[in-house]
Homo-oligomer: A and B are copies of this chain.
Amino acid sequence: MASRILGRLPLDEDRLAQDMARLAQAPAPQEPYEVFTIGRWVNLNLWNASGDDGDGFFNGHRQVAGRPTRLLGGVPYIGELLTTWFNTELLTMVRARNVVEWSIVPHRDFLESGPAEDFFRVLVFLEDNEHALNSDEDMVFHMRKGEVWFLDSAQIHAGVNISSRSRWSLCLDFKAGAGFSPGDVFARAGDYDPAIRPALVERAPAPADLPDRLRALSAVVSRHNIKDIAFLLGKVHFTEEVPIGASWDWLVEITRASGDPALLDLAERARRFFVHSREVYEEFSFVPA
């Protein structure tokens, strides 16, 4: 099941603007998933297992019921949207997220948490930004304001906002598993509307010499820039028709061509961590502490 639209929220512009102004002023808590991203990546914890707004850990491996944090009290309209529109019985986590001059590398979620069918991740965008795109193994798409999206995070997926303009969204995690169906995320079954067509993004056919062009990076790659290069490669599929997972293979090829076995090892470990296998609490970094 690829990422797709589940429904659409009508949004009260004035009340939303008040809440978003509060979110924009909130200090950013510690971020456990920073390694997946580059650029500004702020997650404000509105609902989670501990009720502590400083706790950004996704407890998928133990599926703990969620509850509101103190921060949710400061954004009453968003709180109302959650309780009116969504099935809070199944809701384990809600993060209000902003991304600016940011990308998240092609990766799979839940590798460390358990069977992917136990989890159901939903995104609701609170503002439009044409510079912000998402992708999965099938397509590149633009999530519009108010749309409720299922993000198939068990597929390889990525995201970007190349601009300096904000891109606020809500990321909702639901407990799924046996007997779950996508309409269950809503409080009212009638709000499930899978017929809305997504805004897909056309890409250019990849030039035939793209792999050669990219291999030129083997003359430049070093431990000082391998992270920059990994993220640069991870964005190519947003504009050119190449498989989303190719970026990690390119990084492996580039580091192999560099002749430095330490860089090749790092690239292979990165590919494993981001798209193949990962343990709970496992950490990765391009330059270990």
A: residues with CB less than 8 A from B are 25, 27-30, 34-35, 38-40, 54, 101, 131, 160, 162-165, 213-214, 216-217, 219-220, 222-225, 227-229, 231-232, 235-236, 238-239, 283, 285-289
Contact = CB atoms under 8 A, between A and B. Distances in A.
A228 B38 CA distance: 10
Contact of A163 (B160, B216, B219, B289): B289
A119 B217 CA distance: 40
17 contacts: A25-B54, A27-B27, A28-B28, A35-B164, A38-B38, A101-B286, A101-B287, A160-B224, A162-B286, A163-B289, A165-B289, A214-B220, A217-B217, A222-B239, A224-B235, A224-B236, A228-B232
A238 B224 CA distance: 9
Nearest to A231: B228
B287 A164 contact: yes
A163 B228 contact: no
A163 B217 contact: no
Given A131-B287, A213-B220, A224-B235, 18 more contacts: A35-B164, A38-B39, A101-B227, A101-B285, A162-B287, A163-B287, A163-B289, A164-B286, A164-B288, A164-B289, A165-B289, A216-B220, A217-B217, A217-B220, A222-B239, A225-B235, A228-B231, A228-B232
A207 to B, nearest CB: 9
Contacts of A229: 228, 232
A287 B102 CA distance: 11
Contact of A27 (B28, B40, B285): B28
Contacts of A231: 228
Contact of A216 (B40, B162, B219, B238): B219
A236 B220 CA distance: 9
* 8 A-B pairs with least C-beta separation: A27-B27, A164-B285, A165-B289, A216-B216, A213-B219, A163-B287, A228-B232, A162-B287
- When all copies of this chain in the complex are counted, the total is 2
A151 B28 CA distance: 28
A253 to B, nearest CB: 14
Contacts of A54: 25, 27
Contacts of A286: 101, 162, 164
A117 to B, nearest CB: 32
B163 A285 contact: yes
A105 B203 CA distance: 31
Contacts of A38: 38-39, 228
A37 to B, nearest CB: 10
Contacts of A235: 224-225
